[in-house]
A and B are shown apart, each in its own frame.
Chain A
Amino acid sequence: MRLAFVFALIATPALADVNRALDAHILPGHAHLVETTSALAAAAEDDCAPETLQAPFGSAYDAWLGVSHIQFGPIEDRGLSLAMAFWPDPKDSTGKALGRLTEAEDPIVDDADAFGEVSAAAQGFTALERLLYEEQANPDYACRLTVAIARGLASMSDELSTDWQAHAELMRGAGGIERYQSETEAQRALFTALLTGLEFLHDQRLGRPLGTFDRPRPLRAEARRSERSQRHVELSLAALEELALAMAEGLPATEAAFAEAKERAAALDDPALEGVADPALRFKVEVLQQSVRAVQVAVIEEIGTPLGIQAGFNSLDGD
């Protein structure tokens, strides 16, 4: 018992490597987001035809999935989370916001600075997906809107990436600074991002379309219009695994759980997750959801517990 305790003390400093998480995951992830959104914006300025933009849109959206779980720091400080991607969207805020702009043929789309002030629901990847994958009643205006959104995504990505350079230094120098009073706090911020990302995958990306057995909700799948729903599940698993493995070494249960979840996700063969409404296929999504739960359990045990993070005394109990 005493030996185990001593071992735990020695093992702790090796865990939760903040530098590696920054250098191997967060910073390159944001740099990649800048590259791909800039390419998307350039392509849109060149030719706004949906069919030519679908490929650069896909690459940029892929890059976003690589960092979309990093919801603390610059994105929070700048309040850009929903402007990058407005989902879940149960009230169809995106459809309504795009509808309002289109109906008024609002010239705000031609002013890059002002466009940042329109509804977040009309600004990001979820709005652009509509324009590129749905029939447009007013193709001329849709073109202007497409260019505005693509430019906005590039400029927001640029802001996030630039801010991350400075924020990374705050996290590296943790200790004494108000924001991260100790290295543990920087580690905890990373761990919270990991856990929240897994929860979002389980509850929203998979849970929303699953609904209940009696009432599956395939139309609630993320990015179903571009048939990227399954891809988002796979990309988010890959991104979360990258973060987990950057944070710590020697995580057998975590690695095994990710491997199983990734295998199940890849085997779905159901791009828009329509299978949730088919009793014969639904179980595959349910089993995948359970394997995401297993990843959550593994990372809590192997990364959270050594960091002294227990399940929330209050957040879990509630009332």
Chain B
Amino acid sequence: MLSRRGFIAGLGALAAPAAGWASAGDPVALSGAKLSDGSFALVGLRLDGGLAFSAPLPARGHAGAAHPAVAEAVVVARRPGRFAMVVDCARGAVRQELTAPQGRHFYGHAAFSEDGSLLLTPENEYATGAGRIGIWDRRLGYRRIDEVSSGGIGPHEIIRLKGDTFTVANGGIRTHPKTGRERLNLDDMEPNLTILDATGSIAHQVPSNAARNSVRHIAADEGGRVVVGCQWQGDPFDAPALVAIYAAGRLTDLDMDPGHARGLAAYIGSVCAHGQGAAVSAPRGGRVEVLGPDGGLVVSARARDICGLCSVAGRTIATDGLGRVYRLEDGGLSRLAKHPVAFDNHLIAL
């Protein structure tokens, strides 16, 4: 994407030098949170589970993206929200608000380009249902400069892989803000995982293992393996595998024993790579699990309202709606800290 817009590249030099993440208390991950007084914030978490910073937000954010170098994050509104907030994490304040273009809404997720100059946001062009990826230029004060196809309906999470290739989880579910989160095409879903190359063109696509298995959340490891977590839009007692790994152009299910998906309420909230396998959270099932590379269950732990999950510095960290921060290991779940907040759905690893 950078090459296609090389003409703007020179502008980067004009940006004022800004403080790095050390200035925000050295967080290893970020999370949206609801505070005990009912207000919302973006918080930074340290590796020991302590809070690095807390920046008040005017409204509830879902997830977003952390800038690779500067202590700045973009928190995106929950679906079908149309705003996103640029947060100065060193000062602990919102610096700017972004609004989705007319006829679009966000999906709560975003990703930065490798050098942090571009922000990519999955969006719904709701008149047609087409999934779009909005492109915003940070060097121009987050001006919207372009957009590309997401490769499907309902683009949910986007993550950056090596260089400036990106993976998009197209959940396949069509919605319209008029009807909130109502699913309008349950009998006609085509969820897929789409790889966008550095020019924003679709390089590769793989369908989900079943039409009603909505691919939703994705996370990559350093080797480029992508863990995929799904939300089954059918009878929870009849769910296919909910977790898959994308590697070398193939999407491979992590097999689950019969009954396994039941305990997860057929709904994966967050995923991250964990060793050669995957860690997954199931907020509705109240569980977090480690799955081996072939899908064998390594550990399953109960934790009410658990959802946030990320892999940082070789560790897997989890958060829940009761303010707890955990470390997840093959041997189980251990609590690192408890804060008087409700952590929102996702952890953004730095």
Contacts and interface: CB of A to CB of B under 8 A. Distances in A.
**Same assembly:** yes
Interface of A: 72, 81-82, 88-91, 93, 119-121, 178, 181, 188-189, 192, 309-310, 312-315, 317-319
Contacts of B284: 312, 315, 318
B321 A315 contact: yes
Nearest to B157: A319
B269 A72 contact: no
A309 B304 contact: yes
Contact of B78 (A189, A309, A317): A317
Given A90-B237, A91-B238, A192-B304, A315 B78 contact: no
A244 to B, nearest CB: 18
A89 B345 contact: no
Interface in B215-254: 216, 231, 235, 237-238
A81 B302 CA distance: 16
B305 interface: yes
B307 interface: yes
Given A313-B342, A313-B344, A318-B267, A93 B304 contact: no
B235 A314 contact: no
Given A91-B238, A319-B345, A314 B320 contact: yes
B330 to A, nearest CB: 15
Contacts of A314: 269, 283, 305-307, 320-321, 342-345
Given A82-B258, A318-B283, A312 B304 contact: yes
B78 A319 contact: yes
Contacts of B315: none
A202 B34 CA distance: 30
Given A319-B108, A319-B345, A313 B235 contact: no
Given A90-B235, A119-B258, 19 more contacts: A82-B259, A88-B237, A90-B238, A91-B238, A93-B258, A120-B258, A120-B259, A178-B332, A181-B335, A188-B304, A192-B304, A312-B305, A313-B34, A313-B321, A314-B269, A315-B321, A317-B78, A319-B79, A319-B181
Contact of A315 (B34, B286, B343): B286
Nearest to A313: B321
A89 B237 contact: yes
Contacts of A119: 258
A126 to B, nearest CB: 13
Contacts of A312: 283-284, 304-305, 321
14 contacts: A89-B237, A120-B258, A121-B258, A189-B302, A310-B321, A313-B305, A314-B305, A314-B306, A315-B283, A315-B305, A317-B78, A318-B269, A318-B283, A319-B156
Contacts of B342: 313-314
Contacts of B321: 310, 312-315
A162 B272 CA distance: 38
Among the interface residues B267, B304, B344, which one has the most CB atoms of the partner chain A within 10 A? B304
Interface in B90-121: 108
Interface in B244-303: 258-259, 267, 269, 283-284, 286, 302
B225 to A, nearest CB: 24
A181 B332 CA distance: 14
Contacts of B216: 319
A65 to B, nearest CB: 19
Contacts of A309: 304
Contacts of A181: 335
A313 B324 CA distance: 13
A317 B61 CA distance: 12
A86 to B, nearest CB: 8
